[in-house]
Amino acid sequence: MRYAVVVAVVAANLIGCGGGSDSSGKPTQSGSSGGTVVSNGVDLTAAGATFPYPIYAKWISEYAAKSGVKINYANLGSGAGIRQLIDQTIDFGATDAPMTEAEMAKAKGGQILHVPTVLGAVVIAYNLPGVTQPLNLTGSVIADIFLGKITKWNDPRITSLNPGVTLPSRDVLAVHRSDGSGTTYIFSDFLSEASPAWKSGPAQGKDLQWPVGLGGSGNPGVAGTVKQTPGSIGYVELAYARQNNLPAASIKNPAGVFVAPTVEAIAAAASNSVKALPANTDFRVSMVNAPGADAYPLASFTWLLVYKNQKDPVKGKKLVDFLHWATHDGQQFAPALDYAPLPPALVTRLDTLVAGIVVGAPK
C-alpha cells in the first residue's frame, strides 16, 4: 500500500510535468511527430502562430482538395514556429511577430524570407454596463490605463474623448494575455509608439512585465474575463471580438480620426502602408499607426517563414506553388474569417519575392 501510494505520487507528478512540456511542443518532439506524419502521406509540415490558424486551416483543406498537396500545420505558437524553422525540423514556419536579426542569424538553412499572408488587427474590448455608444480612445490613454495611471472610467482624459457619453466612476480593470502572444506584440508595439512612459516601462514584446491587471490565457481567457467583469478593458484579436460581439473602442489614428476596427479599415491601413514600403523591403514591417484617415492604427501582417534556398526540389516546388496560391486565390477566404486580404499592390511585389526562392536541382 505504501509503495503504491508513493509510486502513484511520483507518477502523478510526472504526468503533470509531461503535460506541461507536451503543450509546449519542444522542437525534438514535434520533429519526431513530423517524421511520423510524413510517412502518412503528408507533403509539407509547418508550425507556428495560432492567430492565423483559422485561415491557414481553411487554406490547407481547400488547397488539398484542389492540388492534392497535403500540409500539416501545427498551431504551436509563433515562438515554436521560429525555433523549429531555425532547427529545420519543419518545411515552413509562421509568425505574428517578425523574426529578429539574432534569430535570423541562428537559422541553419541560410536566409529566411518573410511572406505576408493576411492582415489582422487588435481590438480594444471593454465591459461598461449602461454605455451603449462605442467609446473613443487614444494610444496614450490606453497606455496609461495599462500602466495603472488611469484608474477610473470617468477620468477626465477618457471623458474628454467621449463628449455626450456618461461614464461611470467605476474602477478600471486592465486585462492582458498571460501567455506569450503575437497579439501582445502588436498591442505593445502600438503603445510604445504612443507613450514614452510605456516605451521606457513594459516596452515591446510577446510577453511583458505588466504593471497592473489580470492575465487571461489566450483570446478566450481575455475575452471571458472582460465579459464577466464590469469595468474591465482588454485587447483581443479582431476575429475573436467580432465572433463574440464584444464592444470595441474606436482608436485615434495618426491622421486624428477615431476609426472602428473593421476589415475595411485594416485593408486601408495595409494599402496605405504598402505604398510607403521601400523597394528593397524584406516585409518585416510594423503596420501600427499606418497613414491615412481611414486606416485602423492597430493592424498587422502575419507571415509565413520560408528558407530562400530550398534544397529538396520536390518539397521546394510544392512550397512555392502553395505560396503563390495562398497570396492569390487564397485571399478570397480572408474576409469571411475576419482577416483583411493583402492589397493587390503588395501581391504583385510578393510574386517577385516568391519567384526569388531558389529550388534545388533534382538529383
Partner 1 sequence: MSEGVRDIVVPSIAPAAIDGEKRDWLEVGSGLADRVYIGAITASALVVPAILGLIFVAVAIAAWPALRTFGLAFVSTSVWNPVVGQFGAAPAIYGTIISSIIALVIATPLALGVAIFLVEFAPPWLRQPVAFTVDLLAAIPSVVYGLWGVFVLVPALSEHVMPFIADTLHLGNTPLFSGPAYGRSMLAAGLILSIMVLPYISAVTREVLLAVPRSQREAALALGATRWEMIRDAVVPYAKSGIIGGIMLGLGRALGETMAVTMLIGNRHEISASLFAPGYTMASLIANEFSEATGDLHLSALMAVGFVLLLVTFAVNALARWLVWQTSRASVAETGK
Query: Residue 19, interface with partner 1 (CB under 8 A)?
Result: yes
Candidates 70, 83, 252, 318; binder of partner 1 (CB under 8 A) is 83
Candidates 21, 32, 154, 348; binder of partner 1 (CB under 8 A) is 21
How far is residue 184's CA from residue 213's CA, in Å, rounded to a whole number?
14
How far is residue 288's CA from residue 298's CA, in Å, rounded to a whole number?
5
Indicate the DSSP class of residue 76.
-
State the Cα torsion 187-83-51-137 to the nearest 10°.
Answer: 0
Query: Residue 87, interface with partner 1 (CB under 8 A)?
Result: no
How far is residue 85's CA from residue 330's CA, in Å, rounded to a whole number?
23
Instruction: Output phi, psi for 113, to 5 deg.
Output: -100, 140
Binders of partner 1 among residues 218 to 257 (CB under 8 A) are 221, 224-225, 228-229
Using the Cα atoms of residue 262, residue 263, residue 264 and residue 269 in order, give the sign of their dihedral. positive
Q: How far is the CB of 51 from partner 1 (least distance, A)?
A: 11
Query: Residue 203, interface with partner 1 (CB under 8 A)?
Result: yes
Query: Residue 207, interface with partner 1 (CB under 8 A)?
Result: yes
For partner 1, the closer CB: 67 or 154:
154
Candidates 168, 180, 291, 335; binder of partner 1 (CB under 8 A) is 180
Half-sphere exposure of 45 (CA within 13 A, CB side): 22
Pick from 251, 209, 294: nearest CA to 122: 251
Pick from 170, 171, 201: nearest CA to 188: 201
For partner 1, the closer CB: 82 or 241:
82
Q: In this structure, which amino acid lies at residue 294?
A: D
How far is residue 87's CA from residue 95's CA, in Å, rounded to a whole number?
15
Candidates 111, 154, 160, 171; binder of partner 1 (CB under 8 A) is 171
Query: Residue 329, interface with partner 1 (CB under 8 A)?
Result: no
Cross-strand pairs, 310? 359
For partner 1, the closer CB: 83 or 114:
83
Candidates 209, 245, 280, 352; binder of partner 1 (CB under 8 A) is 209
Q: How far is the CB of 336 from partner 1 (least distance, A)?
A: 27
For partner 1, the closer CB: 288 or 323:
288
Which region among 78-86, 130-138, 140-148, 311-319 touches partner 1 (by CB under 8 A)?
78-86
For partner 1, the closer CB: 229 or 262:
229
Query: Residue 139, interface with partner 1 (CB under 8 A)?
Result: no
Query: Residue 76, interface with partner 1 (CB under 8 A)?
Result: yes
Determine contact, residues 276/77, Cβ cutoff 8 Å. Answer: no
For partner 1, the closer CB: 216 or 292:
216
Query: Residue 12, interface with partner 1 (CB under 8 A)?
Result: yes
Q: How far is the CB of 9 from partner 1 (least distance, A)?
A: 4
Query: Residue 105, interface with partner 1 (CB under 8 A)?
Result: no
Q: What is the largest CA-CA distance in the chain?
A: 73
Query: Residue 148, interface with partner 1 (CB under 8 A)?
Result: no
For partner 1, the closer CB: 170 or 317:
170
DSSP H or E segment with residue 130: none
Please count the residues of this chain forming the interface with partner 1, following the rule CB under 8 A.
Answer: 56
How far is residue 70's CA from residue 78's CA, in Å, rounded to a whole number?
21
Indicate the DSSP class of residue 26.
-
Using the Cα atoms of residue 360, residue 62, residue 305 and residue 36 in order, give the sign of their dihedral. negative
Determine contact, residues 152/268, Cβ cutoff 8 Å. Answer: no
Binding site for partner 1 (CB under 8 A): 1-6, 8-10, 12-17, 19-21, 23-25, 76-80, 82-83, 100, 103, 171, 173, 178-182, 202-210, 213-217, 221, 224-225, 228-229
